[in-house]
Amino acid sequence: MSSLGMGTPGSPSTREKAKLGLKKKSGVKTRKPVTIQSVKSLPLDFRFTSGSPAGKGGDRSESDHLAAVVEEEDAGNMDSPYSSNSGSLEVEAKVGGPELEELVDSPARSRLPAISSSRIESRWSDTSSYGAKKKVQAWCQLSNGDWALGKVESTKGTESVLSFPEGKVLKFNTESLLPANPDILDGVDDLMQLSYLHEPSVLYNLEYRYARDMIYTKAGPVLVAINPFKEVLLYGKNYIEGYKRKSMDSPHVYAIADTAIREMIRDEVNQSIIISGESGAGKTETAKIAMQYLAALGGGSGIEYEILETNPILEAFGNAKTSRNDNSSRFGKLIEIHFSSTGKISGASIQTFLLEKSRVVQCAVGERSYHIFYQLCAGAPSSLREKLNLKKAVEYKYLKQSNCFSIAGVDDAERFRAVMEAMNVVHISHEDQDNVFAMLAAVLWLGNISFTVIDNENHVEAVADEGAHTVAKLIGCDISDLKVALATRKMKVGKDIIVQKLTLSQAIDTRDALAKSIYASLFEWLVDQINKSLEVGKRRTGRSISILDIYGFESFNKNSFEQFCINYANERLQQHFNRHLFKLEQEEYIQDGIDWAKVEFEDNQDCLNLFEKKPLGLLSLLDEESTFPNGTDLTFANKLKQHLNANTCFRGERGKAFSISHYAGEVVYDTSGFLEKNRDLLHMDSIQLLASCKCPLPQMFACKMLVHTENPVGNQYRSSGADSQKLSVATKFKGQLFQLMQRLESTTPHFIRCIKPNNSQLPTTYEQALVLQQLRCCGVLEVVRISRSGFPTRMSHQKFAKRYGFLLLENVASQDPLSVSVAILHQFNILPEMYQVGYTKLFFRTGQIGSLEDTRNRTLHGILRVQSCFRGHKSRCYAKERRKAIVTLQAFIRGEKTRRLYSAMVEKHRAAAVLQRHIKCRIARRKFVDVRNASVVIQSGKQSTNLVSHHKIFGLVNQNVSFLCHRDEPFFYLFWPLLNHFSFFIDLI
């Protein structure tokens, strides 16, 4: 399909454009590329006025006039310019011929939101002569429905002549032309910034960005993600860091996840990221990217790795190659990631919805069954192959029927190893893994079981071939029991139990039902095991972010029960989307008495009523018919026609078909197989067979099936001959959806709309019509319109006053919240047209609260700085004082210590002196004794010589002195000097 090529790198090549011919080339808008950065910072209320950067070549008058056009457009932008189709389409039919006439009549066209053509008329025709004069550019719709940009060459009456870059010149009705945005708005990252908001400008903007690998674009509060079908360098550590630190702010899944995590912490409210889009639009990949960001931000404990590793397991068991997507999720998934109060991941839980069981036994040519079967056949180690008697995929009938065994660029054996590794990570034991593989092999071998006719009533019995033997071995039952369960059915008639033999088709149905339920039970069991591994347990804090990745709207040539359920789920999700982005928003305006122009949107409540109404809704009638023993698909179709023909969303078709007018388009359903799929009965014989198995898994599956059965095991047969009385699939699914909606209702939603740019899964190919249809389906344009013309930001008076009141220069603390709020608005000169004061809340236009928030943040940062300076100063003073005190204390202690030391030393000194004295005394005494003794010896010698002469005179005296001089006598010391003199005296004598 065509592409509005830009002739810039990344856009479709010139050769490609030439091949596309005029219709495609006419879309080529040869413009000078502008940097996105320059556009990003444009204010939302940006207007083209003279002197603005958009003024081409300084052409003031043109800029002035464009400004006038823009103002006029804005004055009327409450209505969608693109929604008026009558005028333009009429003319296009003239220009475009019969193809376009078909388009005019198509239901999709007729479903476009209605708007008076006079609005466009007044907007464009007033300026068309000017446009012709100045050769301004305008969008025109070609006969194939594509939009092309041309130059207005001339305008005459109601006709304008436009020239296209390839040199072609075509005539169009002036009223059908739509004004083009100025060049500077090329590739804006929020569609709300477009001056002219209509289909071609939105398509062009998305394509412009897509061609430059900018696959994410904001549409007001919604993120639009276009599948690149190639690796784009937008992910990884650096990008995660960039969004975490807010150094990157261009639209991205990371930005959405970042907002969710911040709002969860700030508002203490659970968040949800709701990802929707057609099959192959990139929902699963987007969910994984969001999980990657949350894991990076909230990780640390290792649980985040476990959460990420659930993806390969769930994809292997729940995804398959379809005609639209090589890795299509055949189940819905809600993953709830729990966080602690500090924002760290504490656990997670996964809820799955409606696995497409029928794929196990039947899939269309070119499609595959679930990946795990091919992975097991390709990657199982030889020991496992031997144990399970595994063959190549091509040898299994269930896999062989679609004649597709591989996916380009995918190595199944390698993926199998990744799945085993992931199973280890989520703590599935090796024994359990072996049991899982045994069940998979059993399902494959069940498909190979064949039957032979045994009587002329076409009754059959199962052939005891390799298939039957292997199944019996793998599930752990007796081969005879298996044969009986597959080829007979026990029925209770009165008090008797009779055994009925089955015909070939009945036996095949029984076998396939057993295979389907083993696989579905195995999937359920695996999810339970994963949940146990990720269990939050006591760590649950109540804060969580849920990521919903659910199958997108489906419409094929033949639509069956699966599409019926999937599209019903999408209607519910669309209602949730509408409620949050349109209904609740508008209801809030009305409740709060806001002066506001209502924006029309397509409410799908009627369609939902068609499904859910009791007793005459689609689901009730389906259940009713499913319980009738004689009910058939045809009687069901007739019943629908009988009861629902008056409903505008319903139309009875020929035979067993009917069609529903969904929000995304009309879908024709074929009721063949509806009742059987809705009943989803597994015969009690099969359940009992599983219950009697020796292997643990079949036993567990049987237990669960019996728990779901309303009737107790002892009373397991119904008179009708049918088996377990469980809830119908549709009713169960409805219950699950209601639960899901309740869960989502309690969260703040963040919407991501994935868009598939082409049906061939090719990179750089952008099909306008396909993208446009998806944009219309998901109401992206309405969201942008409502956000642009409304007041998307709101805050209660109390919250506003509390949050920004401190910014007021005057003290108004005593005043009521409303007065404080108004004072804030006045102080910050918020223009009156930028906000409205409601009864309970304040409503702001986009971006207004941002400037207030910036001021608040700046002020808070300033306050924090002042506080930190003050605290620093205080702490320093305190530290100084303490230091001083410590020094004093230390001086005192040191003095005290020194004093004590000194006195101890003095004592020691004194003691030493006494000791010394005594020692000296002793030494002196000894010396004295020695001297005395010596003296005595000398004296005695001398005396002996003198003795004779003096004997008589001094005989007596000498006697007494001797007595006195005895050294031990105290008198000795007294008389010693005297004695000395005396002896001297004696000597003299």
Which residues of the shown chain bind ligand ATP in the complex (CB under 6 A)? Answer: 227-229, 231-232, 277, 279-285, 325-329, 551-552, 754
H-assigned helices in 448-600:
466-475, 479-487, 504-534, 561-578, 584-591
Where residue 680 falls (left for φ over 0; alpha for ψ -120 to 50; beta otherwise) is left
Please state the closest distance from residue 225 (CB atom) to ligand ATP, in A. 7
Please state the closest distance from residue 550 (CB atom) to ligand ATP, in A. 8
Q: Is 325 a catalytic residue?
A: yes
Q: Is 458 a catalytic residue?
A: no
Please state the closest distance from residue 292 (CB atom) to ligand ATP, in A. 11
- For ligand ATP, give the closer residue by CB, 227 or 626: 227
Active-site residue (options: 325, 369, 533, 544): 325
- Token readout for 517 is 């339920």
- For ligand ATP, give the closer residue by CB, 147 or 353: 353
The whole-angstrom separation of Cα 911 and Cα 555 is 115
For residue 238, which phi and psi values (nearest 5 degrees)? -65, -40
Residue among 640, 630, 760, 627 nearest 323 (CA): 760
- DSSP string covering 843-908: EE-TTHHHHHHHHHHHHHHHHHHHHHHHHHHHHHHHHHHHHHHHHHHHHHHHHHHHHHHHHHHHHH
- For ligand ATP, give the closer residue by CB, 371 or 750: 371
Asked whether the beta carbons of 755 and 225 are under 8 A apart, the reply is yes
Please state the closest distance from residue 275 (CB atom) to ligand ATP, in A. 8
Q: Is 554 a catalytic residue?
A: yes
Please state the closest distance from residue 326 (CB atom) to ligand ATP, in A. 6
Residue type, 470: T
- Token readout for 784 is 């942008």
- For ligand ATP, give the closer residue by CB, 231 or 431: 231
Sheet holding 137-141, edge to edge: 169-173, 159-163, 147-156, 137-141, 178-179
Please state the closest distance from residue 406 (CB atom) to ligand ATP, in A. 15
The CA-to-CA distance between both ends of the chain, in Å, stands at 163
- For ligand ATP, give the closer residue by CB, 232 or 860: 232
Please state the closest distance from residue 764 (CB atom) to ligand ATP, in A. 13
Using CB atoms within 10 Å of the CB of residue 429, give its burial: 0 to 12 exposed, 13 to 18 middle, 19+ buried. exposed
Please state the closest distance from residue 229 (CB atom) to ligand ATP, in A. 5
- For ligand ATP, give the closer residue by CB, 425 or 754: 754
Q: Give the contacts of 187 (CB within 8 A, at least 6 positions apart).
A: 34, 36, 39, 205, 208, 209, 212, 214
Largest CA distance in the chain: 187
Asked whether the beta carbons of 250 and 216 are under 8 A apart, the reply is yes
Active-site residue (options: 217, 329, 533, 789): 329
Please state the closest distance from residue 486 (CB atom) to ligand ATP, in A. 33
Using CB atoms within 10 Å of the CB of residue 810, give its burial: 0 to 12 exposed, 13 to 18 middle, 19+ buried. exposed
Please state the closest distance from residue 7 (CB atom) to ligand ATP, in A. 25
- ∠ CA 592-594-597, rounded to 5°: 135
Q: Is 284 a catalytic residue?
A: yes
H-assigned helices in 755-847:
768-777, 780-789, 797-804, 817-827
Q: Is 541 a catalytic residue?
A: no
Q: Give the contacts of 443 (CB within 8 A, at least 6 positions apart).
A: 360, 373, 398, 515, 518, 519
Active-site residue (options: 26, 160, 279, 686): 279
Residue among 407, 328, 330 nearest 375 (CA): 407
Active-site residue (options: 187, 298, 347, 552): 552
- For ligand ATP, give the closer residue by CB, 475 or 754: 754
- For ligand ATP, give the closer residue by CB, 278 or 670: 278
Question: Buried (b) or exposed (e) across 105-118, using 16+ Cβ within 10 A?
Answer: eeebeeebbebebe
Active-site residue (options: 62, 309, 461, 554): 554
- For ligand ATP, give the closer residue by CB, 113 or 552: 552
Q: Is 552 a catalytic residue?
A: yes
Residue type, 719: S
Active-site residue (options: 27, 277, 280, 347): 280
The whole-angstrom separation of Cα 485 and Cα 479 is 10
The whole-angstrom separation of Cα 483 and Cα 876 is 89
- For ligand ATP, give the closer residue by CB, 277 or 790: 277
The whole-angstrom separation of Cα 806 and Cα 666 is 55
The whole-angstrom separation of Cα 374 and Cα 193 is 48
- For ligand ATP, give the closer residue by CB, 329 or 848: 329
Please state the closest distance from residue 276 (CB atom) to ligand ATP, in A. 9
- For ligand ATP, give the closer residue by CB, 279 or 661: 279
Tally the C-alpha atoms within 13 A of residue 351's C-alpha that lie toward its C-beta. 16
Q: Is 26 a catalytic residue?
A: no
H or E element in which residue 934 lies = helix 848-964
Residue type, 579: R
- ∠ CA 546-547-551, rounded to 5°: 135
Active-site residue (options: 84, 328, 510, 647): 328
- Token readout for 378 is 């390709």
Please state the closest distance from residue 778 (CB atom) to ligand ATP, in A. 13
- For ligand ATP, give the closer residue by CB, 204 or 551: 551
Q: Is 875 a catalytic residue?
A: no
3-state secondary structure of 928: helix
Residue type, 494: G
Please state the closest distance from residue 736 (CB atom) to ligand ATP, in A. 18
Asked whether the beta carbons of 206 and 214 are under 8 A apart, the reply is no
Active-site residue (options: 3, 85, 201, 284): 284
What residues are labeled active site?
279-280, 284, 325, 328-329, 552, 554
